[in-house]
Chains A and B, each alone.
Chain A
Amino acid sequence: MAEEKKTARKKIQAGDLMNRIMADYFYGLNEAATTGKRKVAWCTSVGPAELLRTMGFAVHFPENHGAMLGATRMSTDLIPEANAIGYSPDICSYLTADIGSYIKGITPLSKAYKGIESVPKPDVLVYNTNQCRDVQDWFAWYSRKLGVPSIGVTSPKNVNDVTDAHIDDVARQIEALVPALEEISGSKLDMERLRETVSLSRECTELWKKVLETATAAPAPLTFFDGTIHMGPAVVLRGTPEAIDYYKVLLAELEQRIRDGVGAVDEEEARIYWEGMPVWGRLRQHSELFATLKANVIASTYCSSWIFPAFDGRDPFRSMAKAYLELFIVRSDAYKERYIREMLAKFRIDGIIYHDAKTCPYNSNSRYGMPQRLEAATGIPGLVISGDLNDLRCVSDEQTKTNVEAFIEQIAEGR
């Protein structure tokens, strides 16, 4: 294999538009925090953002900030700051990087967006533990530090079938947040607006699903690495018309690629599924590594986790609860295996890579025998790579490279 040949993934033209939308979002947040014109809520990535947006909050997502710290490779220098005040290097490296950035008073936002000096100071912190327990601990630190309330939803975990009992529980918890949020925002919840916001979220995530499903084409017009970037609006702007408009543009570009027979990777030979978190500080290297091997990582659990078919404006609280519960990370291994098997078939996958992220057990699905079970059931080979989402001290580039190259060799030999 010719290592010297560097093949970058093809640039997506809509990316410029996305950058403008994301800039507007961050400047809007900054204005809210610095002028006090709007209250600021921090929200976990699949927390009740629809509710917060409806009630007029400018919404900041610390997990998005964590990913930015990782992608800019600032995180590994910041994580030790949090370690030194008692937050273990073994816990979520979004949490430790983000708290470290606060302690050091630096943020990638100020490098990317002139005039922004810090993350927006919150008026309230709203979590949903559907992601993990760490988000609650993360917000608890800021709550103590900044003297702002931290409220949220404690989610069931390891759910096989999402039942009415689960939905009742979470819907009630979301509704119970309303009085506190009304007091902080100073305005009453407008149910009509909530219905609209939930409907917009549904539309956004449906478009995002269509974007991801363009990769069922061969060659696939986008990669997992593109997906991790272009999911930005689905994460931070779902429930807004801006996100919907963006995904219409992106989808049109990808559909044109399919019509033109243009793949994101030249001469795509192997189609790979990525299970787990990205290694944010290695997106470019990993993208180039696969492209050089004529392999495309075309689908992932991670990017697909922002598809919420349950959102229904006619029944906002219960449908929000259902959407937040149906999330992959909330589910049992039996469900997860069914889901991945469907994805393998839909995207005609040749091999699965499981990223065992040192600090993110909740997104590391290789620890309870799943790769072995899925390989036995499907015959599709799997590879586990050790790494981390943000802590590059846990990443061995050479080991990753050798493992991935050997895996692609194995797939090629198996044909």
Chain B
Amino acid sequence: MSKRVYVGIDIGSSRTKVAVVDAERQILGHAVRKSGTDFSATAAACLDDSLAMAGAARDEIANAVSTGYGRANVAFVARENKTEIGCLANWGRHCFPEAITIIDIGGQDNKIVKLDASGRRTGFKMNRKCAAGTGAFLEEMSLRLDIPLEAMNDLARQSLEMVKLGSYCTVFSATEVLENIRHGKKVTDIVKGIFYSVVKRVLEMDSPTERVVMTGGVVAHNPYIVEMTGEMIGRTVLVPEHPQIAGALGAAYYALEEKGESDG
């Protein structure tokens, strides 16, 4: 008997994420790739990666839902699409049986989604038309400092004295970074200040509820940012096993729920 799998495809501005689950919402496969310029081709490749991991074939896909900026570009597999905010909420309500605030930091934007104890979405915020507090800001800073993006997390941990960056603006922040280099500040302290700036910008968007969950690619690759957020809000922040694919999982859950409804 063939498998029936449910697929969520999250085509973000920076990365494409695919999650494959079974009817019990168990993760069977997942994959992440750079979105690039051909969203459909990237999604197809990412889908094949995750299906291979799941040991499933395309004709075993019972249903698929897409999300993210490129959500309309994958009609070849997903007839339905949902916003990434809706998918994050759908993921959150299945994973956390309590009121939560999801903070998602992605490549191009960040989002705050609030759910009440019944899992109902009570509100959401997206960053304004600005890179502050996003992965794009970190990428720009890594270029300015000429250090690889993936090295920033460990550098920040080594900091003993953080350099604070005051500006909202990515360009102004870059100028501040250069100024600090000129004044002989340590790169580790500057990098910590860069992370601090990201978290500050995100926390300024809304007041988080008691229980905070962080997701997104920036969170997945920079666990230090979670610790820093926890210190800043004064409580432990939860992080799922696969923070980068939370939106894709929410989409896969939608695929399961919609198929379940139509089957029923």
Which chain A residues have a beta carbon within 8 Å of chain B's beta carbons? 1, 3-4, 375, 381, 386, 394-396, 398-399, 402-403, 405-407, 409-410, 413-414
Contact = CB atoms under 8 A, between A and B. Distances in A.
Contact of B81 (A1, A386, A410): A1
Contact of A3 (B81, B89, B128): B81
A374 to B, nearest CB: 13
Nearest to B75: A4
Contact of B124 (A375, A395, A398, A410): A410
Given A413-B120, A414-B120, A399 B82 contact: no
B128 to A, nearest CB: 5
B83 A409 contact: yes
B23 interface: no
Interface string B143-182: 0000000000000000000000000000000000000000
Interface residues of B, number: 19
A76 to B, nearest CB: 15
Nearest to B113: A406
Contacts of A403: 126
Interface of B: 69, 72, 80-86, 89, 109, 120-124, 126, 128-129
B83 A406 contact: yes
B81 A399 contact: no
A413 B122 CA distance: 10
Given A3-B72, A402-B85, A381 B128 contact: no
A395 B128 CA distance: 10
Given A3-B81, A398-B69, A413-B121, A406 B129 contact: no
Contacts of A396: 129
A390 B112 CA distance: 29
A409 B82 contact: yes
A396 B129 CA distance: 7
Contacts of A413: 86, 89, 120-121
B134 to A, nearest CB: 12
13 contacts: A1-B81, A1-B82, A381-B122, A394-B129, A399-B126, A406-B86, A409-B85, A409-B86, A410-B85, A410-B124, A413-B121, A414-B120, A414-B121
The 10 closest A-B pairs by CB, nearest first: A406-B85, A406-B83, A409-B86, A396-B129, A405-B83, A3-B72, A386-B128, A410-B121, A386-B129, A402-B83
Contacts of A414: 120-121
Nearest to A407: B124
A405 B82 CA distance: 8
Contacts of A405: 83, 86
Contacts of A406: 83-86, 124
A396 B84 CA distance: 17
Nearest to A410: B121
B66 to A, nearest CB: 10
Contacts of A410: 85-86, 121, 123-124
B135 to A, nearest CB: 16
Contacts of A4: 72
Nearest to B121: A410
Contacts of A407: 124
A3 B80 CA distance: 9
Nearest to B93: A413
B105 to A, nearest CB: 16
Contacts of B129: 386, 394-396, 399
B248 to A, nearest CB: 16
A394 B83 CA distance: 22
A398 B70 CA distance: 10
Nearest to B79: A2
A370 to B, nearest CB: 15
A367 to B, nearest CB: 12
Contacts of A3: 72, 81
Contact of B126 (A1, A402, A409): A402
Nearest to A381: B123
Given A381-B123, A386-B128, A402 B84 contact: yes
